[in-house]
Structure 1
Amino acid sequence: MYTPRAFAFDDLPELHQLIQHTRLAQLVTVGEQGLQASHLPLLLKPDEGPHGTLYGHLAKANRQWQDLQSGSQALVIFASAEAYVSPSFYPAKAEHGKVVPTWNYLAVHAYGQADVFTDTERLLALVSALTDRHESARAQPWKVSDAPDDYIQGMLKAIVGFALPIERLLGKRKLSQNRSAADIAGVRDGLAASPDVRDQTLARFIPQGAPHAPD
């Protein structure tokens, strides 16, 4: 990931926070089957290893798990908030007009080699933990144990789990830091006023009084 110094961040708790707030990740591998990608919910265990460990599962019919099993290097992309930035947001537009559109966003890339597992107890613990995480905000959370045991056992035979110890993390927080303080404020206010909730979400990541950083 191309990451100019102005946009890079490497604080581990902040990287983990963005990972945990990104509900669907992209797992990318290259192997005998060529370049492959899957969209997956993942579970982060931040205290396992120097950078944490990611857990997830693939359908057994999805042959990407074979790339993981063969030791292929994996890239996991966590794409968080994003928004189009109009030149009209910049006060500089009125001053000299030398402005162009861009895109602001937050992303983390995690790299590592995964261990694949098919043990029923480990798979059950994984899918239960993932389910509990995403059901926790519901008034009446659904649990894996709500389904018949023989049905769940059959479903577990159709998936392959993996644990991916993170070897390297790259964080990018592109929030117009290479602009003047006035332009940054213009971007924040412009996105906050947008009717699109995605723009409003990105605006909340832009701090008040953000300093001008070098390109």
Structure 2
Amino acid sequence: MGHTLSSLYPVHRRAPVYRPKAFVVDDLATLHADIRSGGLATLVSVTGSGLVATHLPLLLRESDGPFGTLLGHISLANTQWKETDSGIEALAIFTGPETYVTPNWYAAKQETGRVVPTWNYAAIHAWGRPVFFQDADRLRDLVTQLTDKFEAGFPAPWRVADAPENYIESQLKAIVGFEMRITRIEGKRKFNQNRSAEDRQGVIRGLRELGAQGDTRKTEVADLMENIESEPPAGY
């Protein structure tokens, strides 16, 4: 007898994010804020061809469901929307600031030499079952919201209405929208919380030095590390 994908990958078989206690982020408001501030996400789902991933921007509707609902769209030509097994949770991955950390920045290097390189990063994993749709009005509303979100920082934001109506209509026919109510969500901020305060400060100084040379990613990580330093331990 053959097996369905759902039987081969039962829903209860869950693979949580590896999160040592020092790096755990469980506060829903913080997770939502990080999702809203993010850009590109990755939607991973199980299909008849195995795991399939699509990179795309997503919107978060916070009040829909206990953990919120994610909304996005993919190309009509992308068969992920047709082949995704609806009986298995899909996974949306959001990544935040990240950077390599050299052991040279740790105070412990001079004290004991017992140091190794690492990578600092932030990530959120959100699971759910995407429901795909092709309704033109819903798609127009979705792309309008996405556009308004990412155009908001420009002096003269581009609007969907700026393009010819017949062109927008043709573009809407070439995409498929989806909503994915989040059934569980996990966040991780790995920024040297497991090391001494002296080591963390050494990393921040090293990142600041590189940031001053034009590497804005290093400055972004340093800023986040300083914010974490000022937060109460109960937040993690």
TM > 0.5 fold call: yes
Shift of 1:68: 4.0
List alignment gaps of at least 5 residues for structure 1. Answer: none
Aligned pairs for 1:37-56 (under 5 A) are 37-56=53-72
Q: How does 1:36-75 map to 2 (within 5 A)?
A: 36-68=52-84, 70-75=86-91
The one-letter amino acid paired with 1:45 is: R
Which residue of 1 is the match for residue 140 of structure 2?
124
Greater mean deviation of Cα atoms: 66-75 or 133-142:
66-75
Higher relative helix content: 2
- The one of 104, 107, 111 equivalent to 2:120 is 104
- Contact 2:86 2:130 (C-alpha < 8 Å) held by counterparts: no
Task: State the alpha-carbon separation in 2 of the partners of residues 129 and 210 from structure 1.
Answer: 32
**Partner in structure 1 of residue 199 of structure 2:** 183
- When residues 112 and 126 of structure 1 are mapped into structure 2, their CA distance, relative to the original with a 3 A threshold, is same
- Poorly superposed stretches of 4+, deviation over 4 Å: 209-212
Does the residue aligned with 1:141 lie in a helix, a strand or coil? coil
For 1:120 and 1:209, locate their aligned partners in 2 and report how far apart those are by CA, in whole Å.
Answer: 47
Name the SS of the counterpart of 1:198 in structure 2.
Answer: helix
Partners of 1:126 and 1:105 lie apart in 2 by 30
Against the structure 1 CA distance between its residues 210 and 154, is the aligned structure 2 distance closer, same or farther, given a 3 Å change threshold?
closer
SS of 2:168's partner is helix
Q: Which residue of 1 aligns with 2:160?
A: 144
Residues matched between the structures, number: 213
- Which SS does the other structure have where 1:130 is aligned? helix
SS of 2:225's equivalent? Answer: coil
Q: CA deviation at 1:108?
A: 0.4
Q: What SS does the corresponding residue of 2:32 show, helix, strand or coil? A: helix
RMSD, matched Cα: 1.7
Asked if 1:157 corresponds to 2:173, the answer is yes
Normalised to the residue count of structure 2, the TM-score between the two structures is: 0.86
Taking structure 1 as the reference length, the TM-score comes to 0.94
